[in-house]
Every structure is written in C-alpha cells, then in structure tokens.
C-alpha cells in the first residue's frame, strides 16, 4: 500500500471518528456536514453504529416532506433488518396518523413475508379496533392465499366469538367456490324465502308463483300447468330461493324451480276453499294450484300419485290468491 493510499485512509478514519463524536456528543444534535458522501469497496459495512444503552443506534429526523431514511440497493435489499430478540420485530414501523409500514413494487410483490417456523405466519396483521389485514386490487384479486399441503387451507379464518370468514359483495358474487365444499357442522342460509330451487329453462314466459310442468318437448324446459291433477307437475317457480342449484344452467338462462321448502304459490280457490294443511295439485287455471280432492278406492281415500305439489300453509277462501306453500312433491 503506497503512502498516498495510507494517508487517504487515515484521513477517512479521522473523519469518521470525528463524525461519531459529533453524533454521540453531549447535546446529541450536531449534524454532519450537509451532502457528506462516503464511498468504499469494503465487503462489510462502511459505518457501524453500536449503542450499548437502551436507545436506538441510529436516529434520523426529517421535518420536511422527504423521507427520514432513504435506502437503495442496486442488487441487494433496500433495507435489511435483523434481530435476535424473540419478542421484537426486525423491522418495526409506527405512524401516528397514517400507515405504519408501506411496501411497493412496480414489477413484483409489494410486501413479502416469510417464516420458517411451523407455528408462525409469513405475514401477521393485528388491530385493536380495525381490520387486522386488508387486501385491495384494482384489476385482480384483493387477497390470495394458497398452500401445497393436503391438510391445510389456502386461507384460514378463525374467531373465538364471532365469524371466522365473511364474504361480501355490493354487486357481484360474494363467495365463489371452485371445488368440493365441506361443512363440518351445519350451514345457515339467512337470505331468500326459505326454499331450495334448481335451475330449469323456460319453455314460455314464466313468473314467480307459477305452478309448472315439465315440457313434453324436452330440453329441461318448464311450462305452466293447464290440466287438473297433472302428473307432469314438477313444482313452483321461486322468487328468491335461499339455495339455488344451477345444475349446468346459469341463472341468467334459467328460472329457479322450488323443489323443497316454503315458496309463494298461485292458487285458485274456485275449485274449493283452501285451508292450512290442505294438499295442493295443479288446477285447470294455467299456472295455478287448487285443493287436491282424494278419490275413493274400495272405500279408502287416495290421492293421485305424482300429482301433489305440496301443502298449504295459508288459507285462500275464494278466488285467486298467492299463498305460502310447503313444497312436498309426491
């Protein structure tokens, strides 16, 4: 090493030493000269700060709109934080009025969390009064979770008192499941009218409450019933079923046929007053049900097999009406 290089290193050491003394001085506010630039080709850190007390090793304040600390890595990390403490974070961000930690990338993930611990999370969010973790996207999925384990979940929600997972949508589908769904306990459907419906195609214009039969033309098409006690009757067109089964027919292309549960049904009491508990069948009035009348066979009253729609839950004393019916096809 020549004399010139040794002298340069000596001056640099004096400069850094003086800077350290200034930083650690009694008043603690004496800055380095503005624009101070230090370059080195060392494989280790150019500047090492170590605080043996309880305070931070480095503190940076910016009273203007710029960043207090700007770190840029051309081929490595922009900021690399490490800690040996079991209860401390390698990187900890605090804000009194905005975001604590913000991550952004124009070509890759904005924030990436990783852990090798089997019982810990790659990313963990906690809030005392708001949302623990929020994901948002203008053109893609807001939150994506996946796993390669056959026994684990891509997304897992748990609550000790409330709801484990909530899905909501103001316009589209709130929850879309591509695959088999398993309910370990039971499922509650609060919306709808209280019935189970299946999509069929309409062979003619239909509306909710219509009593329908399967079209003789095929194609899973429904038409209004027009024959009394028609054994081709398949149910009632639902308005807002609690559970709707597509069966390969999209909602936009089909009508929901109530196959079980409670549904509003058109009835015609001109063929006999209807009381709660009466069995119903197709009437001659297109799309209307009527009270089923049993036939006598060897002194025994029997109903025509395959002609019953369900059981009336409300009365209709005269004329046409719309009543609740418990669909029990048989």
Give the residue extent of every domain in the chain: 1-102, 195-327
Residue 246's pLDDT band (cuts 50, 70, 90): confident
pLDDT of residue 5: 59
Cβ atoms of residues 155 and 167 within 8 Å: no
pLDDT band at 54 (very low <50, low <70, confident <90, very high): confident
Map residue 223 onto helix, strand or coil: strand
Q: 210 near 236, Cβ under 8 Å?
A: yes
Q: Is the dihedral of CA 185, 190, 195, 198 positive or negative?
A: negative
pLDDT surpasses 70 at 306: yes
Following CA atoms 175, 244, 255, 312 in sequence, which dihedral angle do they give, to the nearest 10 degrees? -150
Element (H, E) at 326: strand 320-327
Q: What is the mean pLDDT of residues 277-296?
A: 94
- Is 70 exceeded by the pLDDT of residue 30? no
Q: What pLDDT score does 67 carry?
A: 85
What pLDDT is recorded for position 145? 86
Task: Say if residue 24's pLDDT is above 60.
Answer: no
Confidence of residue 198 (pLDDT cuts 50, 70, 90): very high
Spatial distance between the Cα atoms of 325 and 213, rounded to a whole number of angstroms = 17
Q: Give the pLDDT score at 79.
A: 85
Residue listed under structure tokens 């079980």? 260
The region of weakest confidence among 40-49, 57-66, 260-269 is 40-49
What does the angle CA 77 – CA 83 – CA 86 come to, to the nearest 5 degrees?
Answer: 140
The per-residue pLDDT of the chain, averaged, comes to: 84
Higher pLDDT, 146 or 233: 233
pTM for the full predicted model: 0.62
Q: What pLDDT sits at residue 70? A: 85
Does residue 180 have a pLDDT over 90? no
Q: What is the mean pLDDT of the segment spanning 233-240?
A: 93
How many CB atoms neighbour CB 191 within 10 A?
9
Collapsed DSSP state (helix, strand, coil) of residue 9:
helix
- Torsion sign, CA atoms 158, 159, 164, 170: negative
Distance from C-alpha of 210 to C-alpha of 245, rounded to nearest angstrom: 19
When pLDDT is averaged across residues 80-86 and rounded to a whole number, the result is 85
CA-based Rg of the chain, rounded to a whole angstrom?
37
Q: What number of other Cβ atoms are within 10 A of residue 29's Cβ?
A: 9
Which is nearest to 224 in space by CA: 176, 298, 235, 328? 235
* CATH of region 195-327, choose from 3.40.50.720, 2.40.300.10, 3.30.300.180, 1.20.5.50: 2.40.300.10
From residue 315, give the alpha-carbon distance in Å to each of 50, 244, 283, 287, 321.
Answer: 86, 27, 17, 18, 9
- pLDDT tens for 143-179 read 888 888 888 888 888 888 888 888 888 888 888 888 8
**Exposure string for 114-152, b = 16+ CB within 10 A, e = fewer:** eeeeeeeeeeeeeeeeeeeeeeeeeeeeeeeeeeeeeee
Average the pLDDT over 309-328 and give the result. 95
How far apart, in whole angstroms, are the C-alpha atoms of residue 6 and residue 206? 95
For residues 180 and 222, the model is more confident at: 222
Rounded to an integer, what distance in angstroms lies between the CA atom of residue 3 and that of residue 187? 83
At 56 the pLDDT is 85
Q: Which residue has the higher pLDDT, 290 or 145?
A: 290
| pLDDT beyond 60 at 213 | yes
Q: How many residues does the chain have?
A: 330
In Å, how far from its chain's centre is CA 267? Answer: 41
Q: Is the pLDDT of residue 212 over 90?
A: yes
């Amino acid at each position: 090493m020549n004399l010139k290089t040794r002298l340069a290193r000596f001056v640099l050491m004096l400069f850094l030493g003086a800077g350290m003394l200034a930083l650690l001085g009694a008043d603690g506010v004496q800055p380095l000269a503005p624009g101070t630039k230090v370059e080195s080709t060392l494989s280790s850190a150019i500047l090492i700060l170590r605080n043996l007390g309880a305070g931070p090793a480095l503190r940076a304040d910016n009273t203007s709109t710029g960043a207090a600390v700007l770190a840029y890595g051309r081929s490595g990390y922009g900021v690399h934080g490490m800690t040996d403490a079991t209860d401390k974070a390698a990187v900890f961000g605090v804000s009194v009025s905005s975001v604590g930690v913000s991550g952004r990338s124009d070509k890759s993930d904005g924030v990436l969390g990783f852990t090798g611990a089997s019982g810990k999370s790659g990313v963990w969010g906690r809030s005392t009064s708001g949302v623990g973790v929020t994901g948002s996207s203008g053109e893609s999925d807001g939150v994506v979770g996946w796993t390669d384990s056959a026994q684990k979940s891509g997304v897992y929600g748990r609550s000790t008192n409330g709801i484990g997972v909530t899905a909501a949508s103001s316009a589209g589908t709130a929850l879309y499941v591509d695959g088999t769904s398993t309910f370990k306990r039971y499922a509650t459907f609060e919306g709808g009218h209280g019935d189970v419906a299946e999509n069929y195609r309409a062979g003619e214009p239909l509306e909710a409450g219509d009593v329908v039969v399967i079209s003789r033309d095929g194609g899973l098409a429904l038409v209004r019933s027009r024959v009394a006690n028609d054994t081709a009757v398949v149910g009632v067109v639902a308005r807002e079923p609690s559970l709707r089964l597509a069966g390969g027919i999209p909602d936009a292309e089909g009508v929901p046929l109530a196959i079980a549960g409670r549904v509003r049904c058109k009835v015609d009491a001109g063929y006999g007053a209807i009381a709660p508990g009466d069995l119903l069948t197709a009437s001659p009035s297109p799309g209307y049900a009527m009270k089923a009348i049993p036939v006598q066979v060897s002194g025994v009253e029997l109903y025509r097999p395959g002609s019953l729609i369900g059981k009336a839950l409300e009365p209709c004393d005269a004329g046409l009406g719309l009543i609740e019916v418990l669909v029990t096809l048989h």
